[in-house]
Amino acid sequence: MQVDELVAVWLRDGRPHRLVWGSRRFRVTDSPTRLGSDLPDSFLDAMAFTHPPRLAVGWRFQATCDDGDARVFDIRWDDHRGVWQLLRTFE
């Protein structure tokens, strides 16, 4: 399911450890995988010489809540707003 919502994320050693989405707390139950490439497509744009792009931090991981609901989450840090954004979730 494609989603575009804000979520609360807690990190441990720079990786997602917990997430709150829809008033439900999920704990990460696998090893998070970094999403995205090292250089965005816009890196070669002329604007990149005067306004270098910021690399997006994104993660994919499985997390489980207390009632046993397990999902895979794709999240990304929105540097402009200073928030975590939920991109997709898979049951």
Q: Show me where the domains of the chain are located.
A: 2-90
- Most distant pair of Cα atoms in the chain: their distance: 50
With a threshold of 0.85, does the pTM exceed it? no
CA angle (10, 84, 9) in 5-degree steps: 15
Q: What's the pLDDT tens digit per position in 31-57?
A: 999 987 554 555 455 555 565 555 568
The pLDDT value given to residue 36: 75
Q: What's the pLDDT tens digit per position in 57-91?
A: 899 999 999 999 999 999 999 888 899 999 999 98
